[in-house]
């Protein structure tokens, strides 16, 4: 039999109400009594039931995190940082991999609501899933869900600009952009707008290819093949995701392009993992750690009720210059 | 105000006890009554409180998953598969990144126990953290925690053998093994024993270098440098982790070694991610999906009480033959 509050009370020589108050940190209890209760808990190996306390306190210290998949380096790194920060602050993470399917996302939202999470951090791409009167605090990372939800994002327009200018600066003339599903309202669209603006400003014609899903490499190869068939003279490619950039680079090499002499390539995300195993790939580095930190802090402020206003925070990205955009001499 | 069970009862024209029975699927309720209750719930937008039901049913449908970090491709892929399978079966995942720190792991175990999780899947490497009388179902992936805990693992000895034989088969003479911290009781040790056996059987002397932490690339570079300084004639390397293999390959290239002409390299894990962006790397592929599937199913069987015996399941690994072990002609 698991020991109960009553057993702790008996051993400590206090009332069950007193034990309960100590556990929930409510009402005045002398430090001497607290010590007696904790000693008794230890003696009979009593494990507090956080679930029961959650119901009583109306706080679960659970945070739902909805991401497309931890299997992608950017989301794996982001979830890692979010979980670390939640744990440091006494919160637990309920992980939900939505695979970018609207139906799955909706089910996760319902599940999180039924489980009384204190808040949600959402890193997926389907709008309109939560009604405006949603009843718990939420922070969206990198995209707008609705007007009454905080947003923490990196500067996607700046990233698109940095990447496009880098290719122009190293002498590329025929620069093509590869991005994800054109129908998703993702922040990656900002990267495309920036690319188009930079191209127009430089008097060049922008051309964007869309892959069905940046995260699923296999589904993208047909688009990459088509790009090279239709544009054999391409000399610069800005891909909106590092994995996509690497895949494009591999295909280009198999066609005989020398990198960077014939073709220069730049990616996006710049996770520690990819920079470590593919340091030669130029990329735009997202500030993953700061994104996670800002999201967790904003969410906890709302949970604690210390902030009422809806926040919008945009963080700067930076250029990682590898060999794939080295100027040909 | 959030609608309550009483409000649902009023709208449906039944008693609150009936609503509660429908929600918890207890006792006989006609399908007509059920329909009325569900219609009423929908009408007034009632969200069931799973937390309260968990306390009542003594089931939370929460599964704790303790991994070193989702930031590593193997664990990212594993967590992804585990979460997918749990979700398919109506379970939620509480994610815990232990960073392989014993103190953090211990805190996570306590937290999971306090939160009444139905079970735990643990993929970390510190023994002795749970007492033999631990009170909830658990499955360990790839290592032995204690006698009364299920183990699902891939065949690490077979993997070590496959990797070492591959290097011998393609003509390597001076084969060195790189593994993680020698003091951790990890299954990766089995890979080293297999390497040593294959070497002995072939009449060669085994030599293993240990890096402080396979997952933290930066901490490993000193050991990699030392390996090449002390063994300039090395012509085959078996690294116990793909990231480590890639890092070693990069350093070897910077020293002027041609891969595979001068030096052949094989890694370990073979995640979809690494095989996709580094298809040239030979590696031992772990059956991540099956590992996750077996772990989740074994755990749920124990939670459901349909199985009492302690299970040990070992799954086969396979060789992915890339260019880095191509025979030199």
Residue B268, H or E segment: strand B264-269
Over the stretch A139-194, which tens digit does the pLDDT of each residue have?
Answer: 989 876 667 788 899 999 999 999 999 999 999 999 999 998 777 667 778 999 99
Given CB atoms, is B94 within the 8 Å cutoff of chain A? yes
In chain A, how many domains are there?
3
Query: Do residues B113 and B230 share a domain?
Result: no
Please report the sign of the dihedral spanned by the C-alpha atoms of residue B75, residue B76, residue B77, residue B83: positive
Which residue did the predictor score with more confidence, B148 or A207? A207
Query: Do residues B161 and B220 share a domain?
Result: yes
Report the alpha-carbon distance of residue A105 to residue A94 in Å, rounded: 14
Query: Do residues A310 and A269 share a domain?
Result: no
Query: Do residues A184 and A278 share a domain?
Result: yes
The answer as to whether A55 is a domain residue is: no
Query: Do residues A169 and A262 share a domain?
Result: yes
SS3 of B9, please? helix
The answer as to whether A179 is a domain residue is: yes
Q: Is the pLDDT of residue A38 over 60?
A: yes
The answer as to whether A68 is a domain residue is: yes
pLDDT for position B272: 93
The confidence band for B214, taking pLDDT boundaries of 50, 70 and 90, is low
Over the stretch A42-73, which tens digit does the pLDDT of each residue have?
Answer: 888 887 777 666 666 678 888 999 998 888 99
pLDDT for position B74: 93
pLDDT for position A125: 62
Report the alpha-carbon distance of residue A76 to residue A242 in Å, rounded: 14
Over the stretch A187-211, which tens digit does the pLDDT of each residue have?
Answer: 778 999 999 999 999 999 999 999 9
Q: What is the average pLDDT across A123-142?
A: 70
What's the CATH number where B50 sits? Answer: 1.10.260.40
Query: Do residues B282 and B292 share a domain?
Result: no
The confidence band for B134, taking pLDDT boundaries of 50, 70 and 90, is low
Q: Which of A44, A69, A70, A246 to mutate to test the interface with B (most CBs of B within 10 A)?
A: A70
Q: What is the average pLDDT across A308-326?
A: 92
Given CB atoms, is A4 within the 8 Å cutoff of chain B? no
Query: Do residues A185 and A91 share a domain?
Result: no
Report the alpha-carbon distance of residue A122 to residue A128 in Å, rounded: 13
Given CB atoms, is B24 within the 8 Å cutoff of chain A? no
The confidence band for A2, taking pLDDT boundaries of 50, 70 and 90, is confident
Which A positions 107-166 lie with beta carbon below 8 A of chain B?
A: 110-111, 113-116, 135
Report the alpha-carbon distance of residue A310 to residue A329 in Å, rounded: 51
The answer as to whether A54 is a domain residue is: no
pLDDT for position A194: 97
The answer as to whether A19 is a domain residue is: yes
The answer as to whether A56 is a domain residue is: no
Tokens for A137, please give them: 């605090």
Cβ-based contacts of B88 with chain A (< 8 Å):
none
SS3 of A128, please? coil
The confidence band for A130, taking pLDDT boundaries of 50, 70 and 90, is low
Query: Do residues A131 and A190 share a domain?
Result: no
Query: Do residues A106 and A90 share a domain?
Result: yes
Strand partners, B64: B94, B120
Closest CA to A142 of A240, A71, A217, A279: A240
Given CB atoms, is A80 within the 8 Å cutoff of chain B? yes
The confidence band for A83, taking pLDDT boundaries of 50, 70 and 90, is very high
Report the alpha-carbon distance of residue B81 to residue B288 in Å, rounded: 8
Q: B52-61, B83-92, B308-317: which has the minimum mean pLDDT?
A: B52-61
Tokens for B10, please give them: 């009023």
The CB density around residue A26, as the number of other CB atoms within 10 Å, is 11
Q: What is the average pLDDT across B285-308?
A: 92
Query: Do residues A74 and A143 share a domain?
Result: yes
Query: Do residues B165 and B252 share a domain?
Result: yes
What's the CATH number where A197 sits? Answer: 3.40.50.2300
Cβ-based contacts of B247 with chain A (< 8 Å):
276-277
* C-alpha distance from residue B301 to each of A100, A241, B17, B26 (Å): 30, 40, 31, 22
Asked if the Cβ–Cβ distance from B49 to A95 is below 8 Å, we say no
Report the alpha-carbon distance of residue A82 to residue A94 in Å, rounded: 11
Q: Is the pLDDT of residue A1 over 70?
A: no
Range of the domain at B70: 62-153+288-315
Please report the sign of the dihedral spanned by the C-alpha atoms of residue B226, residue B231, residue B235, residue B240: negative
ipTM for the complex shown? 0.84
Report the alpha-carbon distance of residue A260 to residue A244 in Å, rounded: 17
Query: Do residues A166 and A260 share a domain?
Result: yes
Strand partners, B249: none
């Amino acid at each position: 039999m698991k020991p109960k509050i009553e057993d702790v009370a008996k051993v400590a020589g206090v009332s069950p109400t007193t034990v309960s108050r100590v556990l929930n940190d409510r009402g005045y209890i002398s430090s001497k009594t607290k010590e007696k209760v904790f000693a008794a808990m230890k003696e009979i190996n009593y494990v507090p039931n956080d679930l029961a306390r959650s119901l009583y306190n109306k706080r679960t210290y659970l945070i739902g995190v909805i991401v497309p998949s931890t299997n992608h380096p950017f989301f794996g790194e982001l979830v890692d940082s979010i979980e670390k920060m939640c744990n440091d602050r006494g919160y637990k993470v309920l992980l939900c991999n939505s695979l970018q399917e609207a139906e799955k996302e909706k089910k996760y939202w319902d599940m999180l609501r039924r489980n009384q999470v204190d808040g949600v951090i959402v890193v997926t791409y389907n709008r309109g899933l939560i009604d405006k009167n949603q009843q718990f605090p939420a922070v969206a990372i990198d995209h707008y869900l609705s007007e009454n939800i905080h947003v923490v994002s990196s500067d996607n327009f700046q990233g698109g600009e940095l990447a496009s200018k880098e290719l122009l600066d190293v002498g590329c003339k025929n620069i093509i952009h590869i991005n994800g599903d054109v129908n998703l309202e993702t922040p990656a669209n900002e990267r495309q707008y920036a690319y188009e603006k930079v191209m127009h400003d430089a008097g060049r014609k922008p051309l964007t290819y869309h892959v069905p899903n940046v995260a699923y490499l296999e589904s993208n190869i047909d688009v990459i093949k088509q790009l090279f068939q239709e544009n054999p003279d391409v000399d610069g490619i800005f891909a909106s995701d590092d994995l996509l950039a690497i895949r494009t680079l591999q295909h280009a090499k198999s066609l005989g392009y020398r990198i960077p002499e014939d073709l220069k390539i730049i990616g996006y995300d710049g996770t520690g993992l990819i920079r470590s195993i593919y340091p030669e790939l130029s990329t735009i580095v997202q500030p993953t750690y700061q994104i996670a930190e800002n999201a967790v802090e904003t969410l906890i402020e709302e949970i604690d009720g210390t902030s009422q206003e809806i926040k919008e925070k945009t963080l700067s990205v930076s250029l990682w210059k590898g060999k794939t955009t080295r100027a040909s001499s």
